[in-house]
Structure 1
Amino acid sequence: MRIAIIGAGAVGGWFGGRLVETGHDVVFIARGETLTVLRDRGITLNDAPPVPVPAVPALSEAGEVDLVLLAVKATTETDLTGMLAGLGEGVPVAVTQNSVEVPQLVADVVGTERTWPGVVRGYFHHTGPGAVEFHGGPISYTYGTWDGSDDPRVDEFGAALTAAGVEAVIRDDIFVGVWAKAMFVVSTGALGALTGAPLGQLRTRYRDSLAAMMTEIHHTALAHGVPLEPTAVADTLAFADRMPAMATSSMHRDLVSGAPAGETELDAQVGAVCRMGDAVGVDTRLHDLLLTVLEQRGEQTPLG
């Protein structure tokens, strides 16, 4: 299986580097300084020597591939049509973004039959062009076809991930996984960016607010026909209780560092919940509030 990875940040860099280390055929799609570093040095995982990898500036220059892993950060400036230009006929796109909207946006470009929604779990840090760090804990990718239909490439990709040290979780009801992940990452990312607090404080000092945000996401998912369990909020809080106390999301870190809101995942994560709630008449007032406040902060000065 030949795999093209669009984006060499935290997720794309780690997945791609590990796949190459375990003998799989991978080509990175990157731009600017990252492309130069990948070509000249390779991908660096933690403190190990760089792993040589092929890299090109566009999917159309990657040659024939069997699968595309979309691992770029989703922002208001993400051009999915441009990124996926040159996609071969019938080639599926595996989605990794923390957004309840991105699977549909990808499907609008390539069709639902070629869109594999998915979510990544694991705390990775993109430390520079072509460099990623991961310091323990679970790593998984939960994914599946749009409608749960069989596709032998799903299992083939899962086997490749497993060999690379990534737990592959294949679901027929993948949108349950997408919304369940959003319940954790969107609420902790937005509340963390607002307060400047890591997960350990969010799940204690701000627990009631965190639970209320998760509840808004739960109600929105149910209104869209996604059958999350009645215990989903409690289960997600219990998951948060097991994670490292100093953990923060990439959206949190970007916003706190002063990155403009339009260059962060704020709209793709929080804005998506607001829009999905509006579409079905669900009250998402906490997400609406945090979106407005964080957008305004992003237009002003760094938070810390």
Structure 2
Amino acid sequence: MHIVIVGAGAVGGFFGGLLHESGTKVTFVARGESFEALQRRGMRLYDASGVRDIRVPVVEDLSHVPDADVVILATKTLGSVDVPKNLPKNAVLVTTQNSVEMPHIAVEALGVDRVIPGVVRSFLTKRGPAEAEFSGGIFTFTFGCMSEATRGIVDKLAHVLDRAGIEPVVHPAIMTDIWFKAMFVTCFGALGALVNQPLGVVRTTYRDDFKSLINEVVTAGQAHGVDFPEDVVDRVLAFADAQPKGATSSMQRDLADGLPSELDAQVGAVVRMAQRVGVDARLHHLVGNVLSHKHSD
């Protein structure tokens, strides 16, 4: 199996490094300082075992890869969504972004037979160009078919991920998990950034507002035909209650630091997906607009 990974940041870098290290053919697509670092010393990984550099082939453009089985899109969505149009022949695109909109955009661009949505759950951090750190704990990749045409590649991908030490979770209804993650990541990220407080404050002082945001995601997802357990909101809140009280989201930190953020890709995506099916997401619309204006300068 040949896996191409677009992006050598936290997710792409660690996935690519571990997959290559365990014997899977991997090619990175990277640019600028990341491309130069990969050429010079390879992908640098930090984990409990120490620091190591892994030499992995790298190109500057996907068009330079004539054939592959899978293209993992591991870039952060910091602006307009960019779905690769020039996939290698017969390759399938695997998405990893924290956006309920991304799989739909990919399907519209490539067709349902060439898209596999995925959800990363891990404590991964980009430390620099082609440098990524795993802080320990959970390391899973949940993914699944939107079309039976991808069943074979899903099974093969699960095998090589497992061999690399990345726990594969093949979900029978992957869009349920895509929306489920958004219920926590997007809602906590948005509200935490709005009130400029960590999770411990969001889940207590602003619990009702947090719950209202989660309910908007549930309503939009259901309108798109996604099934959720009846107690899904309680599950999200229970998950939030179990996390460290000082936790903040990457979106909140990026906004506070004046860096490009996933505000539109996460919050804006919920609004647009709700609009597609004519349901209300006014709280996401309000929070998104306030944060956008607040951090526009």
Question: TM-score under structure 1 normalisation?
Answer: 0.91
Q: Does the 8 A contact of 1:149 with 1:172 survive in 2?
A: no
Counterpart of 1:67 in structure 2 is 70
| Shift of residue 121, structure 1, vs aligned partner | 1.1
Counterpart of 2:60 in structure 1 is 57
- Structure 2 SS opposite 1:123: strand
Q: Does the 8 A contact of 2:68 with 2:89 survive in 1?
A: no
Looking at structure 1, the residues matched to 149 and 3 of structure 2 have their Cα atoms a distance apart, in angstroms, of 21
Counterpart of 2:113 in structure 1 is 113
Looking at structure 1, the residues matched to 225 and 82 of structure 2 have their Cα atoms a distance apart, in angstroms, of 28
Q: Does the 8 A contact of 1:147 with 1:173 survive in 2?
A: no
Whichever residue aligns with residue 79 of structure 1, its letter is D
| Shift of residue 219, structure 1, vs aligned partner | 1.0
Counterpart of 1:79 in structure 2 is 82
Counterpart of 2:281 in structure 1 is 284
| Shift of residue 148, structure 1, vs aligned partner | 5.2
| Shift of residue 170, structure 1, vs aligned partner | 0.8
Question: TM-score under structure 2 normalisation?
Answer: 0.94
Stretches (4+) displaced over 4 A: none
Looking at structure 1, the residues matched to 13 and 150 of structure 2 have their Cα atoms a distance apart, in angstroms, of 28
Counterpart of 1:267 in structure 2 is 264
Looking at structure 1, the residues matched to 148 and 185 of structure 2 have their Cα atoms a distance apart, in angstroms, of 24
Matched length: 294
Whichever residue aligns with residue 276 of structure 2, its letter is A
Counterpart of 1:94 in structure 2 is 94
Q: Does the 8 A contact of 2:7 with 2:28 survive in 1?
A: yes
Q: Does the 8 A contact of 2:113 with 2:149 survive in 1?
A: no
Q: Does the 8 A contact of 1:148 with 1:172 survive in 2?
A: no
Q: What RMSD, in angstroms, separates the aligned Cα atoms of the two structures?
A: 1.6
Looking at structure 1, the residues matched to 14 and 188 of structure 2 have their Cα atoms a distance apart, in angstroms, of 23
Unmatched segments (≥5 aa) in structure 2: none
Deviation string, structure 1 residues 242-299 (Cα, Å, up to 9, x no partner): 233333332222111112xxx4211111001111122223221211111001111221
Whichever residue aligns with residue 176 of structure 1, its letter is T
Looking at structure 2, the residues matched to 70 and 196 of structure 1 have their Cα atoms a distance apart, in angstroms, of 30
| Shift of residue 241, structure 1, vs aligned partner | 2.1
| Shift of residue 197, structure 1, vs aligned partner | 2.2
Counterpart of 2:2 in structure 1 is 2
Counterpart of 1:237 in structure 2 is 237
Looking at structure 1, the residues matched to 113 and 257 of structure 2 have their Cα atoms a distance apart, in angstroms, of 39
| Shift of residue 200, structure 1, vs aligned partner | 2.9
- Structure 1 SS opposite 2:291: helix
Q: Does the 8 A contact of 1:148 with 1:173 survive in 2?
A: no
Q: Does the 8 A contact of 1:59 with 1:84 survive in 2?
A: no
- Structure 2 SS opposite 1:245: coil
Looking at structure 1, the residues matched to 236 and 59 of structure 2 have their Cα atoms a distance apart, in angstroms, of 39
| Shift of residue 168, structure 1, vs aligned partner | 0.9
Deviation string, structure 1 residues 171-220 (Cα, Å, up to 9, x no partner): 22111111111111101111122222232332233222211111110111
| Shift of residue 77, structure 1, vs aligned partner | 3.2
Whichever residue aligns with residue 202 of structure 2, its letter is L
Q: Does 1:225 align with 2:228?
A: no
Q: Is the strand fraction higher in 1 or 2?
A: 2
Answer with 58-67 or 177-186: which moved more: 58-67
Whichever residue aligns with residue 129 of structure 2, its letter is P
| 1:141-290 alignment, distance < 5 Å | 141-147=141-147, 151-259=151-259, 263-290=260-287
Percent of residue pairs identical: 44
Unmatched segments (≥5 aa) in structure 1: none
